[in-house]
Structure 1
Amino acid sequence: MKRVLIVLILLMVPMTALGSDLSKAFYDGVSHYEAGRYDDALETFLSISDQGIENGKLAYNIGNAHMQKRDLGQAILWYERAARLMPGDPDLIFNRNVALAQVKDRQEEVANPVLSVLFFWKKGVPLKSLQWLAIGSGVVFWALLALQVFLRNTPMKTAAALCGALFAILASTALWDTAMDARIHKGVVLPKAVSVRSGLSDTATELFTLHAGSRVVVEQQRGGWVRIAFAEGKIGWVKKEAVGVI
């Protein structure tokens, strides 16, 4: 793994604002991890997370601790949570890919071929980056429009029109992706293996088996069960505790 040692992070607020208890817990976690006491490190870092603190580096370090404990499902869950907060971090990308390479189930994403061609440019672009691109293009568009009105310059009008078209595409795509991100709940399979069944019972027909680290879409929850979708045609029920929601 790349850079498995705990990174000395400053969370989203200054360390002094965290309070002595959380500050001490963080430094204790660092000491435990560097000494190879991964159970203790995990416990202390989770105690920080349990305070409601969401930070990409913290989630990344929790994922690293799980990887050291060979808990692939939990490691990928926390790497995915970290990726939502710092999608472009190179160390996270490296460690996440190392973990994903160990997942037994290979998922084939089914995409609309027409949409794939039209929106090829946004493949791999994080949602947050897409949102900022939309905001930036909007600012440039309105600036060019204001200059065109003031200067009555034809080339400026053309540039404003082109930038306006770009802004419309980026903004609509960002809005759509934001809505989908809020509506679709993604999860990760946690146990080494779990049977996906046709109904809400241990005696229901086993449809297929998934293994630790497999990423799924959580479609609905009913009682202590959740219905998940792994790929086209691979949908079924598993117990709620078998899936960690990203």
Structure 2
Amino acid sequence: MKKLIFNIALLVSLVGFSQTPEDIFSKGNNLYQHGKYSEAIELYSSIEKEGLKSDDLFFNLGNCYYKLNKVAPAIYYYEKALKINPTHEDALVNLAFAKRMTIDVIEELPQTFLQRFSSNVIQKLTYNTWAIIAVIASFLASLLFLLYHFSFSTKKKLFYFNISIFAVFVLLISTFFAFHNYTTVQKNRTAIIFVDVVEIKNAPSTSSEVAFELHEGTKVIILDELDSWKKIKIADGKVGWIYVDDLKEI
């Protein structure tokens, strides 16, 4: 009897092990469609724990938490989806809805032209995408230059030369954008508040004065860290220290 139970358990474990992330993701989608959001989260999270990342995976996790009225994790996963794919329209829309559930109303500081250009143009694509564009442009520039070199027609030479110059221009711009995007992502570490309400301190100490309060779901920028504290900044420019367990880095 014991041997039979062991064989059944072994068979079940092997079947579970043989499931691909695609299979688990599909089962999670099926659970979500039937309103079983907590069960879907378990399956999606099992994929995440394997170190796999996907904008659709994080988007679905955000949707599950949103359906369960869990503000912080919903915003957290929508933000993670957008970090992978800034053009994910559904994530952008749902993030806007999720933010309406937050308590904090923070007026953002006005941006300079360069800051607006960076957020509206450069940050719309990931640095990997800009890098791919640069590689394609370099290939086209090389090909067009060869066509220019071996062409006998004056008109064709002029055409290939002009297009190759344009390809080189795209190469330089996309390379700069990729580098700028990568630097911005590495520099601007962001996080989401994961507690109902937290007091932001003037210094990394429980005995220091309270600078201001934040509530669940608010997005902050991490500036520095010391021991179990992180120095943060919010959209209106206020700066303070928060205990590391009260937020989750995106």
TM-score, normalised to structure 1, is 0.78
Q: Shift of residue 201 of structure 1?
A: 2.1
Residue aligning to 1:137: 137
Structure with the largest fraction of helix:
2
Residue aligning to 2:32: 33
Q: Give the alignment partner of residue 180 of structure 1, picking from 180, 184, 198.
A: 184
Contact 1:56 1:85 in 2 (8 A): yes
Contact 1:26 1:44 in 2 (8 A): yes
**What is the DSSP-based 3-state SS (H/G/I as helix, E as strand, rest coil) of the residue aligned with 2:93?**
helix
1:238 aligns with 2:238: no
**What is the DSSP-based 3-state SS (H/G/I as helix, E as strand, rest coil) of the residue aligned with 1:231?**
coil
1:202 aligns with 2:206: yes
Q: Output one character per residue of 1:75-115: Cα deviation in whole Å (capped at 9) or x when no partner.
A: 111111122233333332322221133333335155333x2
Query: Structure 1: which 5+ residue stretches go unaligned?
Result: 1-15
Mapped partners of 1:33, 1:204: distance in 2: 45
Mapped partners of 1:163, 1:121: distance in 2: 23
Q: Give the alignment partner of residue 215 of structure 2, picking from 190, 211, 217.
A: 211
Mapped partners of 1:117, 1:148: distance in 2: 39
Residue aligning to 2:85: 86
1:46 aligns with 2:55: no
Q: Shift of residue 170 of structure 1?
A: 1.8
Mapped partners of 1:149, 1:23: distance in 2: 49
State which drifts further: 33-42 or 236-245: 33-42
Return closer, same or farther for 1:225/1:148 CA change in 2, 3 Å cut-off.
Answer: same
Contact 2:106 2:235 in 1 (8 A): no
Mapped partners of 1:60, 1:49: distance in 2: 12
One-letter amino acid matched to 2:46: S
Mapped partners of 2:17, 2:119: distance in 1: 43
State which drifts further: 16-25 or 69-78: 16-25
* Superposition RMSD in Å: 3.0
Q: Is the radius of gyration larger for structure 1 or structure 2? A: 2
Residue aligning to 2:111: 111
Contact 1:137 1:167 in 2 (8 A): yes
Contact 2:85 2:125 in 1 (8 A): no
1:99 aligns with 2:103: no
Mapped partners of 1:234, 1:156: distance in 2: 54
1:20 aligns with 2:24: no
TM-score, normalised to structure 2, is 0.77
**What is the DSSP-based 3-state SS (H/G/I as helix, E as strand, rest coil) of the residue aligned with 2:124?**
coil
Mapped partners of 1:120, 1:53: distance in 2: 27
